[in-house]
């Protein structure tokens, strides 16, 4: 029987998912659907390019929702009776109320659903996860995580100020767009408690969203500080662990882990690892045979969004 898949959204992440689906299922019928309802872009990897979800067939093997976060609930409602497998791009929604409705709908219809926090599938992330489970780093006292990249360099196919990232109504801002960090910190260390923070607009970008966030969190006795921004000229993404064995430096850009101590050593390094494997692993986890407990579940994505809303309501704004 011919397999049928759909990708809703034709932005950069939607195009990536479309190409990866084609690589995984070369003989499948794959629909690419415009998220906005405007005339769709004709994409080579798609069997059919559609204006609306109403044009989709009644039965699909899987659906990927890669539309703006503010539209996720609408698109879940449109396909909930058409499929039993659903991948929703991160964040799960732009509001906690929408996230709760999505979770309820998927439970009611018994839909296998994952959320697109792909950094869990980075090979150095997997190394860190295993090392923590084995207590390889000793006692961890504090964690400092940071990610920063100038918004204008994110996407080559459109102006940054018309992107989802720059528009509050579409679910933009660093807290939602860079919520990967909140997800992986909870995945690695456990449930996070919020203790304070500062969120800012820089006036360097033409946006109506927060462009910088500095957040103080904890898990049990481990202090966690997190920095997010849209303005750095030199991209960085790292997580440092201060332990009784030294400082563990995890660089997510170079895909490496180093221990700085009395005898510093490289613990892990795969700089040439193809990052598209993260996205392929996600698709295999939801649509293929390689099921994994490392995928972001609906409840975890909802907790991340709840934390974002707590930060937005309680942090100092500048």
Residue 272 sits in the same domain as residue 233:
yes
Q: Write down the pLDDT at residue 104.
A: 97
Distance CA 90, CA 282 (A): 12
Residue 134 sits in the same domain as residue 247:
yes
pLDDT surpasses 70 at 290: no
Angle subtended by helix axes 180-189 and 123-133, to nearest 10: 30
If one counts every other C-beta atom within 10 angstroms of the C-beta of residue 150, the result is 16
Mean pLDDT to the nearest integer, 129-153: 96
Q: Are 294 and 126 in contact (CB under 8 A)?
A: yes
Residue 87 sits in the same domain as residue 153:
no
Residue 265 sits in the same domain as residue 282:
yes
Q: Are 86 and 111 in contact (CB under 8 A)?
A: yes
Q: Are 215 and 145 in contact (CB under 8 A)?
A: no
- Which residue range forms the structural domain that includes residue 126? 120-317
Average pLDDT, the chain: 94
Mean pLDDT to the nearest integer, 141-145: 98
Assigned token pair, 148:
């920063």
Q: Write down the pLDDT at residue 291.
A: 59
123 secondary structure, DSSP code: H
* Residue 64: partners with Cβ closer than 8 Å, 6 or more residues away: 5, 6, 7, 8, 9, 14, 17, 21, 86, 87, 88, 89
Residue 108 sits in the same domain as residue 128:
no
Residue 215 sits in the same domain as residue 309:
yes
pLDDT digits (tens, 9 = 90+) for 4-34: 999 999 999 999 999 999 999 999 999 999 9
Distance CA 216, CA 315 (A): 10
Number of domains comprising the chain: 2
Last residue of a domain, one of 92, 116, 140: 116
Q: What CATH number did the domain enclosing 251 receive?
A: 3.30.360.10
Distance CA 74, CA 1 (A): 29
Report H helices in the chain: 12-24, 72-79, 96-108, 123-133, 174-177, 180-189, 276-287, 298-314
Last residue of a domain, one of 89, 116, 143: 116
Nearest to 164 by CA among 314, 35, 33: 35
**Dihedral pair phi/psi, residue 186, rounded to 5°:** -70, -35
pLDDT surpasses 70 at 128: yes
Residue 310 sits in the same domain as residue 201:
yes
Q: How many residues does the chain have?
A: 318
Residue 41 sits in the same domain as residue 106:
yes
Q: For residue 205, say if its preceding peptide bond is cis, omega within 30 degrees of 0.
A: no
What is the pTM for the complete model shown?
0.95
Q: For residue 91, say if its preceding peptide bond is cis, omega within 30 degrees of 0.
A: yes
Q: Write down the pLDDT at residue 170.
A: 86
pLDDT digits (tens, 9 = 90+) for 175-188: 999 999 999 999 99
3-state secondary structure of 313: helix
**Dihedral pair phi/psi, residue 229, rounded to 5°:** -155, 160
* Residue 279: partners with Cβ closer than 8 Å, 6 or more residues away: 16, 17, 20, 118, 121
Last residue of a domain, one of 96, 116, 136: 116
308 secondary structure, DSSP code: H
Residue 225 sits in the same domain as residue 127:
yes
Residue 240 sits in the same domain as residue 215:
yes
Q: What CATH number did the domain enclosing 29 receive?
A: 3.40.50.720
Residue 76 sits in the same domain as residue 135:
no
Residue 198 sits in the same domain as residue 273:
yes
């Amino acid at each position: 029987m011919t397999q049928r898949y759909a990708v809703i959204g034709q932005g950069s992440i939607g195009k990536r998912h479309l190409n990866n689906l084609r690589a995984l299922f070369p003989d499948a019928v794959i629909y690419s659907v415009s998220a906005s309802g405007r005339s769709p872009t004709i994409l080579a990897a798609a069997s059919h390019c559609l204006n609306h979800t109403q044009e989709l067939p009644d039965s699909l093997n899987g659906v990927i929702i890669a539309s703006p976060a503010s539209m996720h609930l609408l698109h879940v409602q449109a396909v909930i009776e058409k499929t039993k497998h659903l991948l929703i791009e991160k964040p799960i929604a732009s509001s906690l109320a929408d996230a709760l409705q999505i979770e309820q709908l998927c439970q009611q219809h018994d839909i296998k659903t994952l959320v697109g926090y792909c950094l869990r599938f980075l090979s150095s992330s997997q190394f860190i996860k295993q090392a923590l489970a084995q207590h390889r780093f000793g006692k961890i006292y504090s964690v400092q995580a940071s990610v920063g990249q100038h918004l204008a360099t994110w996407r080559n196919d459109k102006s940054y100020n018309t992107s989802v990232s720059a528009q509050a109504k579409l679910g933009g801002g660093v807290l939602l767009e860079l919520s990967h960090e909140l997800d992986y910190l909870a995945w690695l260390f456990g449930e996070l408690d919020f203790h304070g923070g500062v969120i800012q607009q820089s006036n360097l970008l033409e946006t109506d969203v927060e462009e910088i966030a500095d957040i103080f969190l904890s898990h049990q006795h481990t202090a966690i500080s997190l920095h997010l921004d849209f303005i750095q000229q030199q991209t960085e993404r790292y997580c440092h662990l201060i332990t009784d064995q030294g400082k563990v430096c995890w660089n997510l850009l170079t895909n490496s882990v180093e221990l700085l101590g009395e005898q510093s050593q490289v613990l892990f390094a795969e700089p040439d690892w193809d990052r598209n494997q993260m996205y392929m692993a996600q698709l295999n986890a939801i649509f293929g045979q390689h099921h994994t407990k490392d995928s972001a579940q609906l409840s975890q994505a909802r907790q991340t969004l709840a934390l974002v809303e707590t930060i937005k309501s309680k942090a100092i704004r500048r």
